């Protein structure tokens, strides 16, 4: 069992995840919810949250990016459906996926032929969802290729086509483009029905579309960011916390951190925190972000370093070694949000939480 002595942790409130999934499930009904837990559940811990959702019936199944992520869920005891959303390569990945009862994404004729070969080699039927490209420009086949893929898979007898899906590019910013993508999807779904396709699970909506575009919910919605509380109207689940490990007083003119990146303009009290960019606390937060100590906002001073960050605690009367520091989350009446940190780093909330590294223990609170 790993020993964790360093006080830097990511706290995940299971009650918030539960509440968010319940809200998504109610909003999407009768469509099912595929809980997207790729990238270690956006940094929140995939195995623990998948077990919560499976145990309490909060999701129909789970979406992952890779076969490895799916295998990790199976190793963690998850028995619900798991859909690998990424394009599989090398094609030997299909063998591992089929063995573990993972549903795979098929986005090309080559992939269709490889999954057929893998299923026949194993003597076990594969289950897949076909990915339609409607405007994301990432992976997926256009309508003519989708029809050919469906025909080849259906004729093989070795692969069950369980669904078809697409991915919205701009569901939170461009309703017209989203409607256009949904129109392309509906046309292809109709063409598949004309070919005799029955009981396909059709899905297109991500969190934004599931909440704001009712017509996109179809048979299933794929929700990630809202489940973690990082979309409007949902409750954030994750907090990044540590404790002060060193306190010092500096004179006017003293330099702080690498490259003399901060110079004190008056006498200051400085706290050192055992967290840095190796933990996912971005260097872009240098001299810009606030940390909560003693219920007050304390500015980061100088460059964030690999393992440590310095902050100004001059105004915190009782600041001492051992004082709690909240880098993301709430303390007293103050809160540092993922949205705030994302704006400082000119990025998105997804990146803020998924970059919290594996050396930061996840602690789960009810």
Catalytic hit among 38, 42, 150, 241: 38
Which residues, at least 6 apart from 149, have a Cβ–Cβ distance to it below 8 Å? 106, 108, 109, 112, 130, 141
DSSP-derived 3-state class of residue 12: strand
Q: Give kind and range of the element (H or E) at residue 16.
A: helix 14-28
Q: Which long-range contacts (CB under 8 A, 24 or more apart) does 293-298 make?
A: 293/244, 293/319, 293/323, 293/324, 293/325, 293/326, 293/331, 294/318, 294/319, 294/323, 295/331, 295/332, 295/333, 295/334, 296/334, 297/334, 297/336, 298/271, 298/325
Whether 258 is catalytic is yes
The token pair at 134 is: 């409607």
- In angstroms, the CA 141 to CA 85 distance is 14
Helix, strand counts (H, E) of the chain: 11, 20
Which residue bears the tokens 């007050």? 296
Catalytic hit among 124, 248, 258, 260: 258
Which residue bears the tokens 């440590």? 308
- In angstroms, the CA 9 to CA 275 distance is 10
Which residues, at least 6 apart from 160, have a Cβ–Cβ distance to it below 8 Å? 125, 126, 127, 128
Whether 317 is catalytic is no
Residues marked as catalytic: 38, 258
């Amino acid at each position: 069992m790993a020993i964790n002595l360093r006080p830097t942790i990511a706290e995940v409130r299971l009650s918030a995840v539960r509440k968010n999934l319940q809200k998504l499930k109610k909003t999407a009904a009768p469509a099912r919810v595929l809980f997207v837990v790729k990238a270690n559940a956006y940094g929140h811990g995939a195995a623990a949250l998948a077990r919560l959702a499976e145990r309490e019936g909060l999701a129909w199944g789970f979406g992952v990016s890779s076969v490895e992520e799916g295998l990790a869920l199976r190793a963690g005891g998850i028995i619900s459906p798991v859909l690998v959303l990424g394009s599989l390569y090398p094609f030997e990945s299909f063998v591992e996926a089929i063995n573990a009862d993972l549903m795979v994404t098929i986005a090309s004729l080559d992939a269709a032929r490889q999954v057929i070969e893998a299923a026949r080699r194993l003597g076990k039927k594969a289950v897949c969802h076909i990915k339609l490209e409607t405007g994301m420009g990432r992976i997926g086949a256009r309508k003519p290729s989708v029809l050919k893929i469906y025909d080849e898979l259906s004729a093989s007898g070795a692969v069950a086509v369980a669904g078809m899906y697409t991915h919205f590019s701009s569901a939170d910013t461009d309703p017209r483009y989203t409607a256009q993508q949904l129109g392309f999807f509906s046309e292809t779904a109709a063409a598949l029905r004309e070919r005799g396709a029955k009981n396909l699970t059709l899905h297109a909506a991500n969190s934004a579309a599931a909440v704001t575009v009712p017509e996109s919910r179809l048979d299933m919605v794929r929700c990630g960011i809202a489940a973690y509380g990082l979309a409007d109207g949902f409750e954030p689940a994750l907090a990044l916390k540590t404790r002060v490990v060193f306190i010092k007083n500096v004179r006017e003119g003293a330099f702080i951190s690498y490259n003399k990146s901060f110079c004190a303009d008056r006498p200051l009290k400085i706290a050192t925190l055992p967290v840095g960019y190796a933990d996912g606390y971005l260097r872009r937060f240098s001299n810009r972000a606030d940390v909560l100590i003693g219920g007050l906002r304390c500015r980061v001073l100088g460059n964030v370093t690999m393992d440590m960050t310095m902050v100004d605690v001059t105004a915190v009367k009782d600041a001492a070694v051992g004082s709690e520091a909240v880098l993301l989350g709430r303390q007293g009446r103050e809160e540092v949000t993922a949205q705030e940190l994302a704006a400082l780093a000119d990025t998105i909330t997804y990146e803020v939480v998924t970059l919290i590294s594996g050396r930061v223990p996840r602690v789960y609170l009810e």
